[in-house]
A and B are shown apart, each in its own frame.
Chain A
Amino acid sequence: MSAFPYLSTTIGTPLLGVAAIAVLPKERAALARPIALLASLVALGFAIADAVAFKTGGPRFQLSESYAWIPTFHVNYSVAVDGVALVLILMTAVLVPVVILASWHDADARGGALTPQGSPAESKRSVRGLFAQLLALETLMLGVFAATDIFLFYVIFEATLIPAYFLIGSYGGARRSYAAVKFLLYNLLGGLLMLAAVIGLYVASTHSPVGAAFSFQTLSKAVGDGSLTMAGSTEKWLFLGFFIAFAVKAPMWPFHTWLPDAASEATPGTAVLLVGVLDKIGTFGMLRFCLELFPHASHYFTPLVLVLAVISTIYGALLAIGQTDMMRLIAYTSVSHFGLITIGVFALTARGEVGATLYMVNHGLSTGALFLLAGFMISRRGSKSIDAFGGVQKVAPLLAGTFLAVGLSSLALPGLSSFVSEFLVLVGAFEKYPVAAIFGTTAIVLAALYILWWYQRTMTGPVASSVEGFKDLNRRELAVIGPLVALIVVLGFVPSILTNFINPAVSQIPAHVQITQQAPHSVAQDSATQGNGSGQ
C-alpha cells in the first residue's frame, strides 16, 4: 500500500473532467473542449508521476491500493501496476489528450471529419457528450490496466464497451450504427465467455486451499505453488474463455471483421482509442492473465495460437494492401500488427514478452498517428477513399512528410520505435518457433507494400484536381501529430526509456509460466576449446 493513492488519482482525474462538463450550462457547451483537454493533461501529469514513483528495482506490483468492494464475494477494488501495465497507462495518458485535440471539431454540425452530408443525426452530436465520453473512456482504460482484481478487471473490460459504443454510434460516419452494433455484438460475446471463465476460476478457487479469491496476485501465487490446481480440461476451458475474449478484442483472425467496420465508421479520434488502446486490453490480457493463471493450457494451446497469429499477420497485411478506404486499410494493418504482438506473447521468451509489450505501446503511437493523419486528409477532402487523393506532397508537404515518417514507423524502419519491438518479437519467437518467426518476417515486405503504395497513390504524382487548394497542417494539427512523431523517433533511438520498466516486469513473471529468460544456449561453451583445437 503506498501512502499516496497514485493510481486512483490518475484513474479518477478524467472523471472530474466528466463532472465539470456535466454541470456546464448548455449555452457554454463549447467549454467542454478545453475542460476535457485540461483534465486529460492533468491525468497525463499523474501518469508521469506514477512512473516516477515506480521503483524499477522494486517488487513486481507497486503503487498498490485495495479497498473492499463486495466483501461477500471477496471482490475488492484493487489496483497496482507492474512495468507492463505502467507503460500501457503512460501510452493511454499520452494518446487521450492528443485525441481530444484532434477531435476538437468532430461534434460540430459541419467540419467533423466524417460528418455525412445532410445527415439527420447531426442534431445528436453534442459537444458535451463527445468530450465527456472520451474522458469517461479514459478512466476506464486507465482502470483496466491497473486492475489487479479479476472481477474488477472484468467489470471495467465490459464497461469500456458503453462509451465506445456511443462514440462510434453517435459521432461516426454513414454506416455508424451497423458498425457500432457489430462492435458491440462481437465484444459482448467475447465478454460473456470471459464472464463464464471468471466465474469458473472463482469456483475453482473456492475448492482450493487458497479459498475464494478474485485477487490476481493471490491466484497467480496459488497456481505457481500448486495450491490451486485445476483439472486439465477445466484449465483448458477457462483458458479458452479468457483467450477468446482477448482474441476478439485484439482482433485475431477469424474474429477480426468487426474492426475494419468500427475503425472506418468511427471518427479518427475514436478509432485511435479503439485500436490504439482498447484493443491492447486483449494482448495485455493474454500476457497477464492467460499465461499466468493457466500456464499448462497456455503451453498446450501455443501451437494453435501461433498458427492463428501468423495467419493474422499475413492475412491482415494482404487485406491492407487490397483496401481502397484509408481507415479500413489502417484497421487491417493493425490486425497484422496484433498478430505479431500475439506471436511475441506466446513465444514465451523474455525477448518476446518485452517485444510484445513495447509493440503495444509503439503500435499505439504509430497507428494512432496514422489514423489522425488520415483524419486530417479526410476532413480536407470529404472522402476516405485512397483514389480521391493524389499529389498531396506538392500542396501540403508537411502533411505528406509526417505521414511518411509515421508510415515508416508502421513498417518498422530502424531508428523509429516500431522496429525495436518488431525485431524483439521476431527474434524472441525465433528462439523457440523459428518457422512461425520466419512466416512473421513476411510482414517486413508486406508492410512496406501497404504503406508505400498508399503513400504513392495519395501523396505523389501530379496534383489531383480535388486536392488543389489543400491546406497544410495547421497549428492544432501540428500540436496533435508533433508529439507523437517526436515520441516515435525518441523511442526508436532510446527504447530503454520503456524497457527500464518492462524488463524487470518480465523478469519477475513467476517461474511457473516458464518464460525463457536466458539468452539462447551459445555454441561458445562447448566448442570454443574444440574449435581452437581443430582450427585449420
Chain B
Amino acid sequence: MPPSTYAPVAATGVFTLTAWVVALPMIGAAILLLGGKRTNAWGHLLGCLAALGSFALGAVLFFSLLGKPGDARSYDQHVYTWIPVPGFSADAGFHLDQLSMTFVLLITGVGSLIHIYSVGYMAHDDNRRKFFAYLNLFLAAMLVLVLANNYLLLYAGWEGVGLASYLLIGFWQHKPSAAVAAKKAFIVNRVGDVGLSIAVMLMYTTFGGFAFTDVFNKAPGADRDTILGIGLMLLLGACAKSAQFPLQSWLLDAMEGPTPVSALIHAATMVTAGVYLIVRSHVIFDISPNARLLVTIVGAITLMMGAIIGCAKDDIKKALAGSTMSQIGYMVLGAGLGPIGYVFAIMHLVTHGFFKAGLFLGAGSVMHGMNDDVDMRHYGALRKYMPVTYVTFGLGYLAIIGCPPFSGFWSKDKIIEAAFAQGGTSGWVLGCTALLGALITAFYMTRVMLMTFFGEKRWVEDEQGHEAHPHESPKSMTIPMILLAVGSVFAGGLFSIGSSFANWLEPVTGRAEGHSPINTTVLSVITLVAVALGVGYAWRLYGTRTRPVPALAPAGSPLTRAARRDLYGDAFNEAAFMRTGQWLTRLLVYFDLRGVDGVVNGVAAGLGGSSSRFRRLQNGFVRSYALSMFGGAALLIAALLLVKA
C-alpha cells in the first residue's frame, strides 16, 4: 500500500497537548540550569517528574490517536512563527502522526526509566542536579527532532541532541578523555550537520520551503538529480548522528559518558535519529533508487564493522557500543530497502531501544558493583552475586541475538527477509551480509555474557586497593532494568501479532511486499542456524572449563588487532584530517604573520624609507596623526572648491 497523502489537519482538542510533550522537559531543564545550587536538593525529582509527565501526555495522545481511523492520524500544531523573513518562513510547529507518536513513546518511556535509574546511579555525584538538567534538555531536543513539522526545526532538534550528547559525554569534564570524546562527538556530528543543512537549503530552493507539506507534496514533481542530491545530503546527516560508516568513529569514544547516558542517548534514542530522518523523508528516498542503494550499502558496511569491533573489545561498554553501531546498521539497511523495509527498520529500532537500553543499564549495574571497572576480563561468575542484573541482562541478550520468541527475533528476521526480497544481486549480497551479521552478533554477545556472568572470578583490586565486592544494585536501578527486560521479551511478539506494528505505521511510510527468492520459513531456519553457530563458537572459546578466559588479552589475529583499534577508523581520520588540518593551520598562521602581515609591514616600512623610520613614525605618531588630519582636511576643501568653481 502506498502511504496516505501528506495532508495533516490542524490539531484541536487533546492534540494540542503535543507542544506540552516538548515543553515539560524544556521547562525542567530551564529550571534546573537557571536555579543552580538552590535546586540541588530536589533537582533529580523534578527531572524525573518532567520526563514522566511528558510520557503521560504521550500516552494520552497515543490513545487519542488510536481512536481515529488509520489515515486520519496526522495532526499539525502551529506554535509560533520562528523566523519570519520575506519569502522565507520557519515555523515552530509540531507534527503528530504514527511515526512521531512511536518515537515520542520510545523517547519518553525509555527516557523516564533512565531518569529513574540515574537517581540511584548518580546518587554520589556532586553534580547530579546538572546531570538531570542535561537529561531533560536531551529529552526536549529529541522530542523537537521527532515532532518538528519542518526540516529547519528538525535541524534545530538535531543539533540540540548533539549539544546534549556533548554535555553528557563530557559530564565528567575533569577527565581529559571525557572532554576529548565529547568534543570529537560534536565535531563529527557537525560534519553531518553540514549535510543536513545543505539538504534544507536544497529543499528551500527547490520547493520554495522546507515544511513537510512543501517537501512531501512537491518532491514527486521535482528534478530527479536534485532529489538524489537531497537524499545524499540527508544520508550524510544520518551517518553522523547514527554513527554509520564513514562517520562512525565518535560512538565508541562516547562511552566515556555516564552509563545511563550511553543507554539513553547512545543506544536507544539519539543514535537512531538517522533512521528516523531517512524514514521520515521516505518520499525523497521512494523516488530515488540510487540514494536508497547507497543507504543500504552504508547500512551493510556498518553492520559488519560494528559487529567485528564488538567481538574484539574487552571493555563491556565498547563491546555494546560496537553492537549498537551494528544494530543501527541493520535499521539503516532496512530503511534503505524502501517500502519493503521502512516499517521493519522502525520496528527494530523500537525493540532495540528496549533491549539495548536494558543491556547498557545492566552493564552499568555491573560496573556499579565492580568499582566502575569496565574490563570484562576482570569480571566472571557474577550471576551468583547480581541475580537481577544477570536475568535482565540475559533476557536482553536473548533478544539481541534473535532467539525466538524474544523481541529481536521478530524485527531482525524481518530485515534479513526484506534484504533478500530486494531481489537481484544486491538482494543476495545484502541478505547474506545481514545473515552473517546475525552470526557475528550471536558470537560477540555470547562472549559478553559468558565473560561477565559465567566462568571463574577474575576480580581485581582497583587503583586504590579496594577489593571488588559485587552486589545487586538498589531498586531504583533494578526496576527500570526489569521493565526494559519485559519489553525485550514481549515487544517484538506483540508488534508481530497480526502485523499490528506494520499496520500502524503503514499509512505514514507505505508498505510493499517483497518477493524473497528463499521461502521465508526456510530463511528463518537458516538464520537460527547462523545464530546457533555464533553462540556455539563463543561457547567453545569462552564457556568451557578447560580454557578459562585469560586475564590479559592474547595478541590475537590481525583482524582482532584491527578490530581493537576500531578498524582503524581513528587512525584514518587522524592521518587524513587531523594531521593535514594541523599542518594547514600551522602553515596559515605562519603565512599570516610573515606573508600577509609581512608584506603590509614591509610596504609601510619601504614607503617610510626604512623600518627604523617606521618605528619612529609610531613613536611620534600623535604629531603625524594631527598633521595628516590637517592634510586630509585641506585636500578635501581644495577638492570641493575645485568642483564648486
Footprint of B on A, CB under 8 Å?
72-73, 158, 165, 177-178, 180-181, 184-186, 188, 191-192, 195, 199, 202-203, 206, 212, 253-254, 256-257, 315, 318-319, 321-323, 350-351, 354-355, 391, 393-394, 408, 413-415, 419-420, 423-424, 426-427, 430-431, 434, 437-438, 441-442, 444-445, 448-449, 452-453, 455-456, 459-463, 493, 495-496, 499, 503, 506-507, 517-524, 526-528, 530-531, 535
Contacts and interface: CB of A to CB of B under 8 A. Distances in A.
Contacts of B586: 322
B592 A257 contact: yes
B85 A351 contact: yes
Q: Which 8 A-B pairs have the closest CB atoms?
A: A527-B221, A522-B208, A531-B221, A414-B156, A460-B179, A519-B87, A322-B585, A257-B597
A472 to B, nearest CB: 11
B86 A321 contact: no
A431 B205 CA distance: 6
22 contacts: A177-B619, A178-B618, A181-B621, A184-B621, A253-B596, A257-B592, A318-B588, A322-B586, A322-B588, A323-B589, A350-B88, A420-B83, A427-B201, A438-B198, A456-B179, A461-B173, A496-B84, A523-B222, A526-B221, A527-B220, A531-B221, A535-B220
A308 to B, nearest CB: 13
Contacts of A445: 187, 190-191, 194
Q: Identify which of B180, B191, B640 gathers the most chain A CB atoms within 10 Å of its CB.
A: B640
Given A350-B86, A496-B84, A527-B218, 5 more contacts: A192-B632, A351-B85, A426-B201, A427-B204, A530-B221
B299 to A, nearest CB: 24
Contacts of A165: 625
Given A322-B589, A522-B218, A415 B156 contact: yes
Interface in B592-606: 592, 596-597, 600, 604
Contacts of A185: 604
A459 B159 CA distance: 22
B546 interface: no
Given A426-B201, A437-B201, A177 B585 contact: no
A158 B625 CA distance: 12
B155 A202 contact: no
B82 interface: yes
A56 B223 CA distance: 40
B545 interface: no
Contacts, number: 205
Contact of B87 (A178, A351, A430): A351
A318 B220 CA distance: 41
Contacts of B179: 456, 460-461
B72 interface: no
B94 to A, nearest CB: 15
A51 B604 CA distance: 44
B425 interface: no
Given A461-B176, A523-B218, A206 B86 contact: no
B194 A444 contact: yes
B87 A444 contact: no
Contacts of A351: 85-88
A257 B600 contact: yes
A460 B170 contact: yes
A519 B596 contact: no
A441 B193 CA distance: 9
Interface of B is mostly: helix
Given A430-B205, A431-B205, A415 B160 contact: yes
Contact of B187 (A180, A391, A449, A531): A449
B617 interface: yes
B152 interface: yes
A391 B621 contact: no
Contacts of B81: 496
B32 to A, nearest CB: 12
A402 to B, nearest CB: 11
A457 to B, nearest CB: 9
A299 B176 CA distance: 50
A430 B206 CA distance: 11
Contacts of B173: 393-394, 459-461
Given A185-B604, A423-B197, A444-B197, A413 B159 contact: yes
Interface string B70-87: 000000000001111111
A448 to B, nearest CB: 5
A206 B644 CA distance: 9
Contact of A499 (B85, B170, B190, B193): B85
B454 interface: no
Contacts of B160: 413-415
A528 B176 contact: no
B197 to A, nearest CB: 6
A456 B181 CA distance: 10
Given A437-B201, A441-B198, A499-B84, A520 B220 contact: no
A188 B628 contact: yes
B174 A254 contact: no
B170 A318 contact: no
B183 interface: yes
A351 B89 CA distance: 10
Nearest to B621: A181
Contact of A195 (B83, B194, B584, B636): B636
Contacts of B186: 448, 452
Nearest to A445: B190
A503 B84 contact: yes
Q: Identify which of B175, B179, B619 gathers the most chain A CB atoms within 10 Å of its CB.
A: B179
B639 interface: yes
Contacts of A206: 643
Contacts of B187: 445, 448-449, 452
A506 to B, nearest CB: 7
A473 to B, nearest CB: 12
B501 interface: no
Contact of B617 (A181, A437, A520): A181
Nearest to B223: A523
Contacts of B385: none
B209 interface: yes
A511 to B, nearest CB: 14
B163 interface: yes
Contacts of A530: 221
A423 to B, nearest CB: 7
Contacts of A319: 585, 588-589, 592
A69 B178 CA distance: 64
A19 B222 CA distance: 66
B604 A444 contact: no
Contact of B176 (A322, A354, A355, A462): A462
B585 A321 contact: yes
B504 interface: no
A456 B592 contact: no
B208 A519 contact: yes
B335 to A, nearest CB: 20
Contacts of B201: 426-427, 430, 434, 437
A441 B190 CA distance: 10
Interface in B608-645: 617-619, 621, 625, 628, 632, 635-636, 639-640, 643-644
A455 B621 CA distance: 39
A455 B176 CA distance: 12
A351 B617 CA distance: 46
Q: Identify which of A391, A414, A424, A430 gathers the most chain B CB atoms within 10 Å of its CB.
A: A414
B6 interface: no
A192 B628 CA distance: 10
Interface string B573-599: 000000001001110110010001100
Contact of B208 (A195, A203, A520): A520
Contacts of A188: 628
A18 to B, nearest CB: 20
A507 to B, nearest CB: 6
B236 to A, nearest CB: 11
A272 to B, nearest CB: 23
B174 A460 contact: yes
A423 B589 CA distance: 28
